[in-house]
Structure 1
Amino acid sequence: MNAGKAVVEFMKREGTSKVFCVPGESYLPILDALYDESSIQLISNRHEGGAAFMAEGYAKASGKPGVVMATRGVGAANLSIGVHTAMQDSTPMIVLLGQVHSQFRGREGFQEVDLDQFFKPICKWAVEVQDAERIPELMQRAYRVAQSGRPGPVVLSFPEDVLREHQLMTFGHSYQPTRPKPSTDEIEMIKSCLSTAEKPIVIAGGGIKLSGAENAFEEFIDQYQIPVLSAFRRHDVLRNDHPSYVGHLGLGTHADIKDILKQADVVLAIGTRLSEVTTQDYSIISNEQKLIHIDISDDVIGKSFIPFLGVQSDAKVALEGLTSIDFQHTWSLWTKLCREVYEEVIFKPIQALDPINRHIIELLQKHLPGNSILTNDAGNFAGWLHSFYQFNDKNTYVGPTSGAMGYGVPAAVGAKLACPDKVVASLSGDGGFMMTMQEVETAVRYQIPVIHLVFNNEMYGTIRMHQEKHYPERVVGTNLGQVAFSEIAKHMGAQGCRVNDISSFESALLDALNHQGPTVIEIMTEPEHISVSSTIESLRQSRG
Structure 2
Amino acid sequence: MAGVPGTTVMDLIDSLARQDAIRFVSTRHEQVAGFLADGYSRSRRGLGVCLASRGPGAANLAIAVHNAYDESVPLLVLIGQVPSDVVERRAFEEMDVLATFRPMTKWAVEVHQVARIPELLQRAVRVAQSGRPGPVVVSLPLNVLQGVADGAPARRYRPHPPGPAPAAISEAWSVMESAERPAILLGGGAAGDHRVGRGAAGDHDAFLALAETMAAPLLTTWLRQGLVPHGHPAYLGALGYGAHEVSERVIAEADVLLAIGCRFSEFTTKRWTLIAPETRLVHVDIDPMELGRVYVPEVGIVSDARLAAAALLGSAPTADRSARQARLDKLRAQFEQAVHTVQDAPGTGVGSGAAVHVLRTLVERDDIVLVQDAPSFGPWTARHLPLPRPGTFFGSAGGAMAWGLPAGMGIALARPGLRVVTVSGDGSFWMVAQDFETCVRERIPLVNVVMNNFAYGNTRDRQRFAHEGRYLGVFYGNPDFAAFARDLGGFGRRVEREEDLGPAVEEALAQPLPAIIDVVQDPMAGLPPGLMPPAAR
The interval holding the TM-score normalised by the smaller chain is over 0.9
Check if 1:406 corresponds to 2:399: no
Check if 1:110 corresponds to 2:92: yes
1:143–1:175 Cα contact (<8 Å) kept:
no
Check if 1:360 corresponds to 2:355: yes
- Whichever residue aligns with residue 30 of structure 1, its letter is L
Query: Which runs of structure 2 are paired with 1:501-520 in the superposition (5 Å)?
Result: 501-520=497-516
Q: Which position in structure 1 is the counterpart of 2:143?
A: 161
Check if 1:199 corresponds to 2:181: yes
Q: Which position in structure 2 is the counterpart of 1:325?
A: 315
Cα deviation for residue 169 of structure 1 reads 5.0
Question: What CA RMSD, in Å, does the superposition of the two structures yield over aligned residues?
Answer: 1.8
Partners in 2 of 1:80 and 1:352 — Cα distance? 37
Partners in 1 of 2:136 and 2:51 — Cα distance? 12
1:99–1:157 Cα contact (<8 Å) kept:
yes
**451-460 vs 479-488, which moves further:** 479-488
Check if 1:32 corresponds to 2:32: no
* TM-score using structure 1 length: 0.92
1:201–1:267 Cα contact (<8 Å) kept:
yes
Q: Which position in structure 1 is the counterpart of 2:330?
A: 337
Check if 1:468 corresponds to 2:464: yes
**342-351 vs 462-471, which moves further:** 342-351
Query: Which runs of structure 2 are paired with 1:312-461 in the superposition (5 Å)?
Result: 312-327=302-317, 328-330=319-321, 331-348=324-341, 356-368=351-363, 369-461=365-457
Check if 1:241 corresponds to 2:223: no
Percent of aligned positions with the same letter in both sequences?
35
Cα deviation for residue 62 of structure 1 reads 2.9
Q: Which position in structure 2 is the counterpart of 1:6?
A: none
Q: 1:46 to 1:449 in 2, by over 3 A?
A: same
Secondary structure in 1 matching 2:63: helix
Q: Which position in structure 2 is the counterpart of 1:269?
A: 259
Query: Which runs of structure 2 are paired with 1:37-48 in the superposition (5 Å)?
Result: 37-48=19-30
2:343–2:528 Cα contact (<8 Å) kept:
no
Partners in 1 of 2:388 and 2:291 — Cα distance? 29
Q: Over residues 437-493 of structure 1, what are the superposed CA-to-partner deviations in whole Å (9 max), with x where a residue is unaligned?
A: 112111110111111011111110001111112111211111111321111111111
Q: How many residues align?
A: 520
- Whichever residue aligns with residue 232 of structure 2, its letter is H
Cα deviation for residue 351 of structure 1 reads 6.8
Q: Over residues 172-225 of structure 1, what are the superposed CA-to-partner deviations in whole Å (9 max), with x where a residue is unaligned?
A: 332313211111111101111111111111111111112344232223233333
Q: Which position in structure 2 is the counterpart of 1:14?
A: none
Q: 1:399 to 1:352 in 2, by over 3 A?
A: closer
Q: Over residues 264-300 of structure 1, what are the superposed CA-to-partner deviations in whole Å (9 max), with x where a residue is unaligned?
A: 1111110111111111111111220001110000111
Cα deviation for residue 370 of structure 1 reads 3.6
The structure 1 residue matched to 2:525, chosen from 522, 529, 538, is 529
Check if 1:134 corresponds to 2:106: no
**122-131 vs 367-376, which moves further:** 367-376
Partners in 1 of 2:125 and 2:216 — Cα distance? 36
1:269–1:291 Cα contact (<8 Å) kept:
yes
Listed as ranges, the gaps of 5+ residues in structure 1 are: 1-18
- Whichever residue aligns with residue 143 of structure 1, its letter is V
The structure 1 residue matched to 2:67, chosen from 85, 96, 99, is 85
1:453–1:523 Cα contact (<8 Å) kept:
yes
Check if 1:499 corresponds to 2:495: yes
Cα deviation for residue 38 of structure 1 reads 1.1
1:63–1:210 Cα contact (<8 Å) kept:
no
Cα deviation for residue 350 of structure 1 reads 6.1
- Whichever residue aligns with residue 164 of structure 2, its letter is P
* TM-score using structure 2 length: 0.93
**92-101 vs 380-389, which moves further:** 380-389
Secondary structure in 2 matching 1:72: coil
Partners in 2 of 1:349 and 1:490 — Cα distance? 34
Partners in 2 of 1:329 and 1:400 — Cα distance? 40
2:223–2:396 Cα contact (<8 Å) kept:
yes
Q: 1:180 to 1:352 in 2, by over 3 A?
A: closer
The structure 1 residue matched to 2:46, chosen from 60, 64, 68, is 64
Cα deviation for residue 533 of structure 1 reads 2.6
Q: Which position in structure 2 is the counterpart of 1:125?
A: 107
Q: Which position in structure 2 is the counterpart of 1:228?
A: 218
Secondary structure in 1 matching 2:37: helix
The structure 2 residue matched to 1:487, chosen from 480, 483, 486, is 483
Q: Over residues 2-32 of structure 1, what are the superposed CA-to-partner deviations in whole Å (9 max), with x where a residue is unaligned?
A: xxxxxxxxxxxxxxxxx11111120122111
**61-70 vs 109-118, which moves further:** 61-70
Partners in 2 of 1:338 and 1:410 — Cα distance? 38
Query: Which runs of structure 2 are paired with 1:261-300 in the superposition (5 Å)?
Result: 261-300=251-290
Q: 1:215 to 1:337 in 2, by over 3 A?
A: same
2:490–2:515 Cα contact (<8 Å) kept:
yes
Partners in 1 of 2:86 and 2:74 — Cα distance? 32
Cα deviation for residue 170 of structure 1 reads 4.0
2:4–2:30 Cα contact (<8 Å) kept:
yes
Q: Over residues 144-171 of structure 1, what are the superposed CA-to-partner deviations in whole Å (9 max), with x where a residue is unaligned?
A: 1000110000000111011111243543
2:344–2:353 Cα contact (<8 Å) kept:
no
Q: Which position in structure 2 is the counterpart of 1:9?
A: none
**221-230 vs 382-391, which moves further:** 221-230
Cα deviation for residue 372 of structure 1 reads 1.8
Partners in 2 of 1:106 and 1:98 — Cα distance? 15
Partners in 1 of 2:129 and 2:2 — Cα distance? 19
1:128–1:157 Cα contact (<8 Å) kept:
yes
Query: Which runs of structure 2 are paired with 1:202-217 in the superposition (5 Å)?
Result: 202-211=184-193, 212=199, 213-217=203-207
**231-240 vs 360-369, which moves further:** 360-369
Partners in 2 of 1:242 and 1:350 — Cα distance? 24
2:188–2:262 Cα contact (<8 Å) kept:
yes
Secondary structure in 1 matching 2:174: helix
Cα deviation for residue 337 of structure 1 reads 2.1
2:344–2:351 Cα contact (<8 Å) kept:
no
Secondary structure in 1 matching 2:290: coil
Cα deviation for residue 36 of structure 1 reads 2.1
Check if 1:302 corresponds to 2:292: yes
- Whichever residue aligns with residue 488 of structure 2, its letter is M
**459-468 vs 333-342, which moves further:** 333-342
Secondary structure in 2 matching 1:490: helix
Secondary structure in 1 matching 2:500: helix
Q: 1:437 to 1:182 in 2, by over 3 A?
A: same
